[in-house]
Homo-oligomer: A and B are copies of this chain.
Amino acid sequence: MKNKSEHPIITVVGCGMMGSAITWPAAYNGCKIRFVGSPLDGEIIAHARATGEHLTLKRPIPAGTEYYTVDQLEEALEGADLSICGVSSFGLDWYLDYVIPRLPDGVPVLSISKGMIHLGEGKMISYPEKMEEVAAACGKKNIDFCAVGGPCTSYELADLDPSCVTFCGRKIELLREIRDLFEAPYYHVSLSTDVRGVECAVALKNAYALGVSLAIGMSYKREGREFEHYNSQAALFGQAVREMRILLNLCGGHPDNIELGAGDLYVTVFGGRTRKIGTLLGTGMSFKDAMEALKGVTLESIAIAGRTVEAAKSLESLGVIKADDLPLLYHIGRLLDNETGIDVPWKKFEKEIY
């Protein structure tokens, strides 16, 4: 990073829960934090200005944080040592169209938005790769796009629960500099230059956490009360790990990334919204009814699952995989398309290993 001062300036664009929480350890380390609300974050910024509290995280924001609205984006980016892309998957298009052309060249970006984009014919690329493309098309050739993976929910990070994450990007030296800004006694950062692998592993966990949660709903349904069985959850968890390893390989990621993926899957099964939709589907509710029941909740996992199913089907049509290679993902796909109610293809999970 150029011009790194004693108190580096970090500008977050998109101040949802994770975009905000990740600044806690940086503030702890003495960084100066600037929040820029996306067009969807107006209330969060107004509430923060008035109370010093984060509206959706429901926790006090570290003292010294400065607040900007979207029309003040350029001002907020002025002099920044690092910017953070803090939007969710649903804000990605806005970030690509509106923010990237306004980013100062030469200032690296750390993205908390995680995911893969299906380019057709089964080819998937990661968000940082996409950002890089868009920036290059704007003539900004000196922005390094890095990203955060690994099991970390925002509210627990804000509560200082010990977390282990991975920063990925093309340049290990830069990643080390960025790590120095965030590394804290409760925030542990591994590094990886395998951007595709890290992003693929952590994106997939969204779809599969929904898959594991199906067993929770099945158990509730059978017991007639909120009682969990774990054999069936574990069976789906094992199958999820199996299919994630297959997809990771298809994306060209390093096999070690399954360690991230498994940890991330674990935390997401306990993570709120994805668990809720999976549980409702597991009780036998249709996807349509489940979405109705969870009205107003943004479900990134649904978007990611849909995109992954679409990519898998492309690969199937190209003969690269067979539908039976990914029976859990395909079942999730059929659930989300309202083609079926819960009917886990247990028999298809059986295999023979020689």
Chain B residues positioned under 8 Å from A161 (CB to CB) = 219, 229-232
Question: Cβ of A192 and Cβ of B352 under 8 Å apart?
Answer: yes
Digit string of A329-354 for contact with B (CB within 8 Å is 1, else 0)? 00000000000000010110111111
Chain B residues positioned under 8 Å from A241 (CB to CB) = 258-259, 262-263
Chain B residues positioned under 8 Å from A347 (CB to CB) = 188
List A residues 227-253 near B (Cβ within 8 Å): 228-235, 237-239, 241-242, 245
Instruction: Check: A266 CB closer than 8 A to any chain B CB.
Output: yes
Instruction: Check: A326 CB closer than 8 A to any chain B CB.
Output: no
Instruction: Check: A264 CB closer than 8 A to any chain B CB.
Output: yes
A349 to B262, CA, bound (A): 15
Q: Which among A40-48, A101-109, A147-155 touches the partner chain? A: A147-155
User: Which B residue sits closest to A351, measured CB to CB?
Assistant: B190
Q: 14 interchain pairs (CB within 8 A)?
A: A162-B232, A162-B344, A163-B231, A164-B235, A164-B349, A188-B235, A188-B346, A188-B347, A189-B350, A228-B270, A230-B271, A237-B262, A242-B259, A262-B262
Chain B residues positioned under 8 Å from A75 (CB to CB) = none
- How many monomers of this chain does the complex have? 2
Q: Which among B215, B219, B255, B353 is the interface contact of A254 at CB below 8 angstroms?
A: B353
List A residues 296-354 near B (Cβ within 8 Å): 344, 346-347, 349-354
A258 to B152, CA, bound (A): 22
Question: Cβ of B259 and Cβ of A229 under 8 Å apart?
Answer: no
Instruction: Check: A55 CB closer than 8 A to any chain B CB.
Output: no
Chain B residues positioned under 8 Å from A150 (CB to CB) = 238
Q: Which among B190, B218, B264 is the interface contact of A234 at CB below 8 angstroms?
A: B264
Instruction: Check: A117 CB closer than 8 A to any chain B CB.
Output: no
Chain B residues positioned under 8 Å from A234 (CB to CB) = 151-152, 263-264, 266-267
Chain B residues positioned under 8 Å from A219 (CB to CB) = 161
Instruction: Check: A172 CB closer than 8 A to any chain B CB.
Output: yes
Question: Cβ of B266 and Cβ of A233 under 8 Å apart?
Answer: yes
Instruction: Check: A71 CB closer than 8 A to any chain B CB.
Output: no
Question: Cβ of B193 and Cβ of A354 under 8 Å apart?
Answer: yes
A55 to B220, CA, bound (A): 26
| Complex A-B, nearest 4 residue pairs according to Cβ-Cβ distance, in ascending order | A238-B263, A151-B234, A234-B267, A164-B235
Q: Known contacts A231-B162, A231-B163, A266-B230; is A238 also within 8 Å of B151 by CB?
A: yes
Instruction: Check: A157 CB closer than 8 A to any chain B CB.
Output: yes
Question: Cβ of B259 and Cβ of A245 under 8 Å apart?
Answer: yes
Instruction: Check: A191 CB closer than 8 A to any chain B CB.
Output: yes
Chain B residues positioned under 8 Å from A191 (CB to CB) = 351-353
A161 to B351, CA, bound (A): 20
Instruction: Check: A74 CB closer than 8 A to any chain B CB.
Output: no
Digit string of A275-286 for contact with B (CB within 8 Å is 1, else 0)? 000000000000
Question: Cβ of B349 and Cβ of A188 under 8 Å apart?
Answer: yes
A164 to B242, CA, bound (A): 13
User: Which B residue sits closest to A223, measured CB to CB?
Assistant: B159
Instruction: Check: A156 CB closer than 8 A to any chain B CB.
Output: yes
Instruction: Check: A133 CB closer than 8 A to any chain B CB.
Output: no
Instruction: Check: A256 CB closer than 8 A to any chain B CB.
Output: yes
Chain B residues positioned under 8 Å from A353 (CB to CB) = 166, 190-194, 254, 256
